[in-house]
Structure 1
Amino acid sequence: MMIEIGLVIYPGAQLAAVLGLTDLFGVANRIAVSCRKTDAPAVRVTHWRQDNTSDAPHCVFDSCPEEPSGNLSALIVPPTLGEPISTKEAAALTTWLRDHHADGVALGSVCAGAFALAATGLIDGRRITTHWSYADMLQQRFPALSVDADQLIIDDGDIITAGGLMAWTDLGLRLVDRFLGPTVMIETARVLLVDPPGREQRYYSVFSPRLTHGDAAVLKVQHWLQATQAADVALKTLAAQAGLQERTFLRRFQKATGMTTTEYCQRLRVGRARELLQFSNTSIDRVAWEVGYSDPGAFRKVFARIVGLSPGDYRRRFSVGQGAGK
């Protein structure tokens, strides 16, 4: 199935990022086509331009105009070289972004593009990154979210934010990794002379939940789990969020995501644990508690099974802090 990635050109958007991402995905597409030994394109890139802040974006470019129209997989809001877009100016854009997100489209931003994503309200209670010079402004304007400008990229599955002005390369490679796999991502980085941080290994991979399955009830639960960091994974609670009977919910959830609710929530929790192990000195037992495991032994087993390393080994290999908790 061809993946469609849309790039949003709003008033003041940095066109260099739009064109750079278009080229990056074009290179990835050629590599993927070569690997698959087929002429069918793997990636479609579309540009969606907002001529006036009161209008919704419309498609002005399609890299595969001869192919049948499909469904978007991701939308990216690029940086601006001017002042970040105001909430009032972003009203039509954010409505359009929310509508696509509700259909399972992943949303991404680079640098000041985070202001448009924040204005959707979809990241309230969650973490977001942007350029360090905008961090205070973003936090003050949207106090319901948590700005972490120390992170170059924060991948929450349905929402991905990248920090610096040139971090579109990191965001682009992250999406290539997600949709086309690590082999294509590594080769794309090699061609473009961009340094990928070893994401070909299992312990670098980021959980990328399936969001384009079309089941609105399951998608609602996925968004809720992401926003709450899977704090409450009781079947009764999840089924209630979906508005379904428990047995019906379990069947539809596995069909839509390819996982049981237990497997899905374990991967969400392990993803959060990896961040804590990398960027804090919190003890491993405390990390287990923070991500929802009252039994540190059970946490260690789940972590090792999913990541391929024990929590301690993972921290020793990837910690960016000055010390490491035991």
Structure 2
Amino acid sequence: MKHVAILIPNEAVLASIVDARTIFTGANDFLQSVGRQPVFDVHMIGLAKEVKVHGGMFSVHPDLLMSELGKTDMVIIPAISGDLDNAVKINQEFVPWIINQYKNGAEIVSLCIGSFILASTGLLNGKECSSHWITADKFRSMFPEVTLVDGRIVTEQQGLYSSGGATSYWSLLLLLIEKYAGRDIAIMAAKIYALEIDRKSQSPFAMFTGQKKHEDDPIKQAQEYIENNVTEKISVEDLSSKYAIGRRHFERRFKKATNNTPVEYIQRVKIEAAKKQLESTPKNVNEVMYDVGYTDAKAFRTVFKKITGLSPIDYRNKYNKEAAVA
């Protein structure tokens, strides 16, 4: 039996606790239904006998206190909510315990923005991590030594697992079911819980809002200029000249402030504008392409797919209700 410890952090997202417990205990039921032995020994672990979550709206009663559990094979860190600085701070008592479990051979699994607790242990320093795309800027500012791969659904390095935003954690949970209970049980779980198996990217769900939480005013002005002139062809030379900064220095400052090169930022702004039109207007792909300043259809399709994971027509069919009906 593989011992699974589902932590109950302060200010945890209740759904991620329930879903993690459901899929592991459910996998045991599925195994027994086909005449096989259960694989997972699942326990909920807390710092107190009662943990209030969602601002005190709900209470969770752990099976064991953290101090009562000597060793586990897998630690599940559910998503957390609220002010992330505070949520990390009030859960620091878990940190040395998580580090010790990892050193003793346990796998550590963070769901959605449970990644903030995992990153606070230092175990991810120098490694990659997935998390919710909406908290990407905050994550990078708090944990600069971790490489955030915010478009990826699941990341695993050296026994440290992390997942993308919100229900993306189901993909990670299915991966763990497949790893320890078999592909057939993972498929059964996917079918019974109506989940999409083998999903790789959260890019189709991401919304690009820019990164303006910095103090570099000329770069902020350049960002606003890009966003206000989405139909125009804008070059890096144009921008560096406009703000009287040498090109190489401008590119370095832009990358440092936004985590994107100027070219990447221009592309992301244009593609975000294209996404909104594909979602909500009857325009065809070529019309949208011209509206956001592209004239080369191949280049537009290439950049669109790189950023969203979908072709423009597939994106339109997925999110535009009228297009889907047609």
Q: Which residue of 1 aligns with 2:40?
A: 43
- Mark the CA change 1:88 to 1:193 in structure 2 (over 3 Å): closer, same or farther: closer
Q: List per-residue Cα deviations over 1:165-205 (Å, max 9, x = no partner).
A: 22221121111011111111111111111111289xxxxxx
Q: Which residue of 2 aligns with 1:112?
A: 113
Question: Are residue 188 (structure 1) and residue 189 (structure 2) matched?
Answer: yes
Mapping of 1:47-66 within 5 angstroms? 47-51=44-48, 60-61=62-63
Separation in 2, partners of 1:90, 1:60: 15
> SS at 1:72's partner residue?
coil
Question: Are residue 164 (structure 1) and residue 165 (structure 2) matched?
Answer: yes
Counterpart code for 2:3? E
Q: Which residue of 2 aligns with 1:20?
A: 19
- Mark the CA change 1:190 to 1:112 in structure 2 (over 3 Å): closer, same or farther: same
Separation in 2, partners of 1:172, 1:102: 22
- Is the Cα contact below 8 Å between 1:25 and 1:176 reproduced in 2? yes
Q: Which residue of 1 aligns with 2:126?
A: 125
Separation in 2, partners of 1:119, 1:131: 16
Mapping of 1:1-326 within 5 angstroms? 2-35=1-34, 37-38=35-36, 40-51=37-48, 60-61=62-63, 71-86=71-86, 87-197=88-198, 321=306
- Is the Cα contact below 8 Å between 2:8 and 2:62 reproduced in 1? no
> SS at 2:167's partner residue?
coil
- Contiguous gaps of at least 5 residues in structure 2: 50-60, 201-304, 310-326
Q: List per-residue Cα deviations over 1:110-134 (Å, max 9, x = no partner).
A: 1221111001111101111111121
> SS at 2:62's partner residue?
strand
- Mark the CA change 1:180 to 1:85 in structure 2 (over 3 Å): closer, same or farther: farther
- Mark the CA change 1:41 to 1:141 in structure 2 (over 3 Å): closer, same or farther: same
Q: TM-score, normalised by structure 2?
A: 0.53
State the aligned residue count. 188
- Is the Cα contact below 8 Å between 1:33 and 1:42 reproduced in 2? no
> SS at 1:99's partner residue?
helix
Structure 1, 81-90 or 123-132: larger mean CA deviation: 81-90
1:33 Cα deviation after fit: 2.2
- Is the Cα contact below 8 Å between 2:74 and 2:107 reproduced in 1? yes
> SS at 1:48's partner residue?
strand
1:71 Cα deviation after fit: 5.0
Counterpart code for 1:51? A
Separation in 2, partners of 1:99, 1:198: 32
1:321 Cα deviation after fit: 4.2
- Contiguous gaps of at least 5 residues in structure 1: 53-58, 63-68, 200-319
1:85 Cα deviation after fit: 4.9
Computing the radius of gyration from Cα coordinates, the structure with the larger value is: 2
1:41 Cα deviation after fit: 2.8
